[in-house]
């Protein structure tokens, strides 16, 4: 039966009158010792206490007073043997009183145990809630050991979680890099797309002006590309775009930036490059395209699939973005009108 049920169940409760009667009987039992009455027990206890008090305190004190008085006040010369005898007698009396006191205290202890046992038998609270002392200090080492084990286990789990988080972060960085590359790259040609061109060209112009460096820009257009699509087919046209994009990437430095400007047009930003060097790069691209054998290229008006390139440089009459692009576009138009498959560099009028 639980502690709560012990109070909730009426059958376990003892009537108040019964409890009162039981406690009265306990007091009567305590008051009677070996057939004697309550008054006999009290009288004998007083006599024993008086004897103990006399043996342990009064008699030794009288002996000490006698010795002090004889030596100090009356200056009597006392025999050392006599004084030693009195001291031994006083010590013996005190030891005798101690022995008697021990016996009395033993009986008092038995009476206290009897009271506790009777209290447990007749008190419903003590009966239903036995007190079982527990030494909490003895449990401290085991509790500390358990806490250390739990801490180590949690540290291992945290280490495992940290490794998993680092792995996920690494994968996330790789995924972000791929997404960034996809967002700025033209999927067909492998060069940068027009969106990235709009962002990067202004940055390069500002950087060039700030440090006083050179910057060249080129526009590349495939000659008679509509004719090529009509005769060779659009699949061949896509393949030709991809091939030309690869040729452009392989013909420039890592610091140069090739873009698909739109349709069959490409753009090329050449940082740290002057006009003559930019024209040389453009010529290298034009020559590589002309030499490549494209499917159906022989049916082109020029007898091969070729490109025309217009080049402009920052400075002189080109100081801003629109001026740089417009100058390259005019040079490209001049290359187209001059027979195509050539490079024309912009020159100030």
pLDDT in tens, 178-196: 898 889 999 999 999 999 9
Comparing CA positions, the residue from 317, 197, 212 lying closest to residue 269 is 197
Separation of first and last alpha carbons in the chain: 112
Tokens of 74: 């009356």
Helix axes 234-251, 225-232, angle to 10 degrees: 130
| Domain layout of the chain by residue ranges | 3-128, 135-184, 194-345
How large a percentage of the chain has pLDDT more than 90?
49
Where residue 305 falls among pLDDT bands split at 50, 70, 90?
A: very high
What tens digit of pLDDT does each residue of 46-96 get?
566 666 655 556 666 666 666 665 655 555 555 556 556 666 666 666 666
CATH fit for domain 194-345, picks 3.30.70.270, 3.30.200.20, 1.20.1290.10, 3.40.50.2020: 3.30.70.270
Displacement of CA 163 from its chain's centroid (Å): 12
CA distances for 71 relative to 80, 138, 282, angstroms: 12, 59, 136
On average, the pLDDT of the chain sits at: 78
What tens digit of pLDDT does each residue of 195-235 get?
999 999 999 999 999 999 999 999 999 999 999 999 999 99
Query: Helix count (H) and strand count (E) of the chain?
Result: 12, 5
Please compute the mean of the pLDDT values over residues 94-111 and round it to a whole number: 64
Q: Check: CB of residue 191 under 8 Å from CB of residue 244.
A: no
Please compute the mean of the pLDDT values over residues 90-118 and round it to a whole number: 64
Catalytic residue ranges: 264
Whether the model pTM is above 0.85: no
Write down the pLDDT at residue 59. Answer: 63
Where residue 142 falls among pLDDT bands split at 50, 70, 90?
A: confident
């Amino acid at each position: 039966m639980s502690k709560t049920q012990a109070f909730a169940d009426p059958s376990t409760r003892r009537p108040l009158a019964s409890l009162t009667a039981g406690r009265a009987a306990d007091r009567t039992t305590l008051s009677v010792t070996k057939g004697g009455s309550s008054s006999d027990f009290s009288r004998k206890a007083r006599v024993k206490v008086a004897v103990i008090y006399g043996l342990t305190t009064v008699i030794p004190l009288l002996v000490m007073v006698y010795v002090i008085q004889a030596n100090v006040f009356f200056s009597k010369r006392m025999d050392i043997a006599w004084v030693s005898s009195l001291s031994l007698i006083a010590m013996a009396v005190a030891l005798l009183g101690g022995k008697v006191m021990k016996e009395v205290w033993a009986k008092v202890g038995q009476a206290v145990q009897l009271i506790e046992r009777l209290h447990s038998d007749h008190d419903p609270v003590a009966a239903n809630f036995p007190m079982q002392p527990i030494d909490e200090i003895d449990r401290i080492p085991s509790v500390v050991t358990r806490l250390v084990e739990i801490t180590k286990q949690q540290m291992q789990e945290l280490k495992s979680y940290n490794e998993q988080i680092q792995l996920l972060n690494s994968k996330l960085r790789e995924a972000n890099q791929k997404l960034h590359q996809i967002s700025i790259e033209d999927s067909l040609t492998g060069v940068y797309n027009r969106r990235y061109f709009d962002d990067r060209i202004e940055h390069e112009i500002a950087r060039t002006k700030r440090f006083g460096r050179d910057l060249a820009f080129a526009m590349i257009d495939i000659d008679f590309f509509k004719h090529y699509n009509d005769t060779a087919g659009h699949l061949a046209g896509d393949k030709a775009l991809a091939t030309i994009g690869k040729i452009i990437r392989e013909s420039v430095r890592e610091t140069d930036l090739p873009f698909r400007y739109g349709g069959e047009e490409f753009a090329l930003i050449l940082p740290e490059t002057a006009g003559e060097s930019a024209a040389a790069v453009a010529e290298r691209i034009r020559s590589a395209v002309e030499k490549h054998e494209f499917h159906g290229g022989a049916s082109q008006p020029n007898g091969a699939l070729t490109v025309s390139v217009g080049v402009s440089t920052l400075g002189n009459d080109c100081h801003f973005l629109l001026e740089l692009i417009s100058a390259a576009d005019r040079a490209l138009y001049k290359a187209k009108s001059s027979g195509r498959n050539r490079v024309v560099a912009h020159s100030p009028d």
